[in-house]
Amino acid sequence: MLGWIEEGVLDIRTGGRRSLAEAAAAHTDLASRRTTGKLLLIH
- Rounded to whole angstroms, the Cα distance separating 33 from 22 reads 17
User: Which sequence spans correspond to the domains of the chain?
Assistant: 13-42
Q: With cut-offs at 50, 70 and 90, classify the pLDDT of residue 37.
A: confident
DSSP, residue by residue, 1-43: -HHHHHHTSS---EEEEEEGGGHHHHHHHHHTT---SEEEEE-
Average pLDDT score over residue span 17-41: 90
The whole-number pLDDT of residue 32 equals 92
The whole-number pLDDT of residue 11 equals 85
Q: With cut-offs at 50, 70 and 90, classify the pLDDT of residue 23.
A: very high
Q: Is the pTM here over 0.85, yes or no?
A: no
